[in-house]
Homo-oligomer: A and B are copies of this chain.
Amino acid sequence: MKQASIVTIGNEILAGLIVDTNAAFLAIELQNIGIPVVSSFTVGDEIDAIVQKLNSASSEADIIVVTGGLGPTDDDLTRQAFAKFLGVELEFHENIFENIKSIFRFRNMPIPEKNRIQAYIPSGAEYIPNVGTAPGILARHNGRILIALPGVPWEMEKMFKSVVPELKEFAGTQTIEVCRLKCFGAGESAIAEMLGDKMLRGRNPLINCTVHDGIITLHIVASAENSEKARKMCKKEEKNLREILGDLVYGSEDETLAGVVSAKLVSQQKTISTAESCTGGLLSKMLIDIPGASNYFTYGWITYSNEAKITQLGVQTVLIEQYGAVSEQVAKAMAQGARKKAGTDFAIAITGIAGPTGGTEQKPVGLVYICVDYDGGCDTKQYIFNFERQFIRIRAAHTALNMLRLRLG
């Protein structure tokens, strides 16, 4: 199986002034044509350092994709590094230079002397037609393909697509398909235990697991002789995982909890209102993240003070006095008040202690009550989220969305 390595060139990326998004783009695109990326390097603008990384990359991979360092200034050294690595000289190409000149003519600008360097390509290498002023480079060397692309993301992406046919041909018949399952409601390790042997390394399909704000993504990666077979393997494994995980699985691919809830609200023609205390608008924001939110979201209240809970949602003063603002009773009254006032099918209320202060032994920081009120009843649950302020609130909002999802069925 042919494998790839990515080399990102540039002092500004090495220094953290720019986050490198090119490597992620290339990794996904290469994976999609059946070429897994096995390593990736970032290196500064120095010829010897670049050559060293080209050596490392070619000891691990058959395809080396380099981004950056093709501009016209003195710190753009990819051309020189390629020539040194290949053991050849740079050659001036009149036709490339004409092409660059025509770009400046089109812009009604004189061509700066500096740009002449962009018409040089290592001897024996092919050039990839430019998108901006910089042409790319494609070299074959010891059974490997080396590609140099510009660092500017849109130029890089466009130019990469132009070499896809050559890469596909070089990679041969391997195909990899990936599908993703999105889960919420259990931790990474609990899900790993449920899946048992399925999580073993070296398996095909391979299952990778990533976590973000309590949302667990299972990546099912299947390799086969052809894409139909790989896709079938993916789908079969997806079915298995769904059976094991049940309603912990809320969606697939790029779906978010809010997106899934939103789609259910729209298809069931239901509306929702919110009453938030500790989350302070975050739950509403998530529901409104989805384009077309006006179809289901009408009213929201952020009742951060007790007074606001009483005057805006009609929570009885005696409930707050007797049970405290962070209690099952108040969560329920908030949700019921919001639903009544907004006239919606559902209302969600969240009240909790996000900290860092305000916790007691009985009611620690992280204690959150969530209520989903609907025609015919309400679901109220107590949670203790053991995180810091921001993450308590994100987890509370996600949990509220998940409760609504399960209620919507």
- Give residues in A with beta carbon < 8 Å to B: 11-21, 23-29, 31, 36-46, 49, 53, 56, 71-75, 103, 106-109, 112-115, 152, 154, 187-190, 192-193, 199-201, 208-211, 217, 219, 274, 276, 278-285, 287-289, 291-294, 297-305, 307-308, 312, 342, 355-357, 384-386, 389-391, 393
Contacts and interface: CB of A to CB of B under 8 A. Distances in A.
Given A41-B40, A300-B301, A24 B31 contact: no
A14 B28 contact: no
Contacts of A24: 13, 16-20
A8 to B, nearest CB: 8
Contacts of A28: 15-17
Nearest to A27: B16
A291 B15 contact: no
A201 B31 contact: no
A291 B357 contact: yes
Contact of A293 (B154, B280, B300, B303): B280
Q: Looking at chain A's contact residues, is the secondary structure mostly helix, strand, loop, or mixed?
A: mixed
A239 to B, nearest CB: 22
A204 B36 CA distance: 41
B36 A15 contact: yes
Given A14-B39, A300-B303, 9 more contacts: A16-B27, A39-B41, A39-B44, A40-B42, A45-B201, A106-B384, A108-B384, A114-B193, A300-B302
Contacts of A73: 188-189, 192, 199, 209
A265 to B, nearest CB: 13
A114 B188 CA distance: 10
A74 B203 CA distance: 13
Contacts of A39: 14, 41-44, 49, 53
A339 to B, nearest CB: 14
A308 B299 contact: yes
Contacts of A393: 285
B342 A308 contact: yes
